[in-house]
Amino acid sequence: MPDDDKPDGRPGVRGRPGLVALPPLSVYIHVPWCVHKCPYCDFNSHEFQGNLPESRYLEALEADLEQAVPDVWGRQVSTVFFGGGTPSLLSAQAIDQVLGLLRAYLNLPPDCEITLEANPGTAESGRFSGYARAGVNRISLGIQSFNDDMLRRLGRIHDAAQARAAIDIARQAVPRVNLDLMFALPQQTLAQCEADIREALSFETGHLSLYHLTLEPNTVFGKYPPPVPADELAATMQDRVAELAGLAGYDRYEVSAYAKPHEECQHNLNYWCFGDYLGLGPGAHSKLSFQNRITRQARARMPEAWMRRALLRDGSHVVERRELSAADLGFEFMLNALRLRQGVDGGLFIERTGLSLMSILPTMQRAVARGLLEPGLGRIQATERGWQFLNELQMAFLP
């Protein structure tokens, strides 16, 4: 009997595997606290003054991990990412303890990419070298701008001098450093945008994440929009950012990601290639594959609620569990894969979803006819026009 899709959308038939092999597995650890909530930030971050409840957080994180182990038992971890919030508020001892837990409970190879997000306002030489000794080998710095006026408008707690110092500290501590910057900032000119990008390029780090500022709902900027560059100027900034990065030897391999050769962020690549990830911590999300189903989970969002529920060890800290349907799988795969400049092999769709490409063929054909998608099934890749209108192309696959 052929391995057609089940009527309810689950890959596989009568217990036969829908996935020939499970995808790579990443681990994401959410640290929810920050010194100051930036007005543009829509992440699950919470201002905290005083000493963090570090011990209780670590205890709850271990409880969360213990309860997650059965879902990922025996699988090798390909990458680890500490995100936030501001993970660099945690002590080096805390990061060492977390990585020790991962090594104890999971299969964590010695060459695993381990990234920690850091705020330049919390950069200390001793702390960063401690992170490196614990096993962190990649630091992502939230620079955002080298212009003090722009930093004040963005509500950042650091200034340009601290940003430059943090880059030096990070480069001395770990072999791989990423700089996060934004453009189309409030009242930013093209010259100011170019100056930021040129200075970022001057440090010659292996990776740059260059984001267009977006005014998200449920943020201060969303409720009280600042004067930002008009669409035409913002588009010019985007083109200039890509041009300058390209001239400096950076490949724009993803919508907002630029890397020197072999410096791509493996953790994010796993997301874009529809790999699996286990999310631990308040508000963390997981995508986990099994032979005959693919599921999503979400943890309790508020830090106190997550810690309290995780420590009960009754599973109540996971507030959402759902199995993805065939329509969900097609959309979510394309939502991620189309972000990659070179796209992905068509066979990866079959490998990661357990579905046939025929399940999305009509939508693909319509996108090709509109000039948004390259023709053929051997490679799934947006055209130049498709990349310019990426949101429109992605939404075409929405069930």
Q: Which has the minimum average pLDDT: 5-19, 59-73, 294-308, 354-368? A: 5-19
Q: Which helix (H) or strand (E) holds 144?
A: strand 138-144
| Nearest Cα to Cα of residue 219 among 41, 33, 86, 32 | 41
Decide if pLDDT at 256 tops 80. Answer: yes
Q: How far apart are CA 164 and CA 205, in angstroms?
A: 12
How confident is the model at residue 49, as a pLDDT? Answer: 81
Residues facing residue 178 across a β-bridge: 140, 207
Interval 183-194 mean pLDDT: 98
Can you give the residue ranges of every domain in the chain? Answer: 25-271, 344-399
How confident is the model at residue 156, as a pLDDT? Answer: 93
Q: How far apart are CA 287 and CA 306, in angstroms?
A: 19
Q: How does pLDDT run across 27-37, given as a tens digit for each residue? A: 999 999 999 99
Q: How does pLDDT run across 11-29, given as a tens digit for each residue? A: 443 333 479 899 999 999 9
Percent of the chain exceeding pLDDT 70 equals 96
Q: How does pLDDT run across 65-77, given as a tens digit for each residue? A: 999 999 999 999 9
Q: What is the pTM of this model?
A: 0.93
How confident is the model at residue 60, as a pLDDT? Answer: 98
How confident is the model at residue 17, as a pLDDT? Answer: 40
Q: How does pLDDT run across 73-92, given as a tens digit for each residue? A: 999 999 999 999 999 999 99
For the domain spanning 25-271, the CATH number is: 3.20.20.70
Decide if pLDDT at 313 tops 60. Answer: yes
| Nearest Cα to Cα of residue 189 among 149, 237, 142 | 237
How confident is the model at residue 356, as a pLDDT? Answer: 93
What is the distance, to the nearest Å, from the Cα of residue 87 to the centroid of all Cα atoms in its chain?
A: 14
Cα distances from 325 to residues 10, 129, 397, in angstroms, run 6, 45, 14
Percent of the chain exceeding pLDDT 90 equals 92
Scanning the structure block, which residue is given the tokens 């997981």? 286
What average pLDDT is seen over the chain? 94
How confident is the model at residue 343, as a pLDDT? Answer: 97
- Asked whether the CA dihedral 238, 253, 286, 127 is positive or negative, the reply is negative
Q: Please report which confidence band the pLDDT of residue 124 belongs to, taking 50, 70 and 90 as the band edges.
A: confident
| Nearest Cα to Cα of residue 136 among 89, 105, 177 | 177
Residues facing residue 47 across a β-bridge: 34
Q: Please report which confidence band the pLDDT of residue 123 belongs to, taking 50, 70 and 90 as the band edges.
A: confident
How confident is the model at residue 13, as a pLDDT? Answer: 34
The pair of structure tokens assigned to 308 is 């309290």
The pair of structure tokens assigned to 310 is 């995780």
Cα distances from 394 to residues 209, 301, 357, 362, 397, in angstroms, run 21, 27, 16, 14, 6
Interval 121-150 mean pLDDT: 95
Interval 201-220 mean pLDDT: 96
The pair of structure tokens assigned to 159 is 């200034």
Cα distances from 146 to residues 19, 35, 77, 359, in angstroms, run 47, 20, 35, 47
> Residue 297 has what DSSP assignment?
E
Decide if pLDDT at 5 tops 80. Answer: no
| Nearest Cα to Cα of residue 295 among 83, 18, 98 | 18
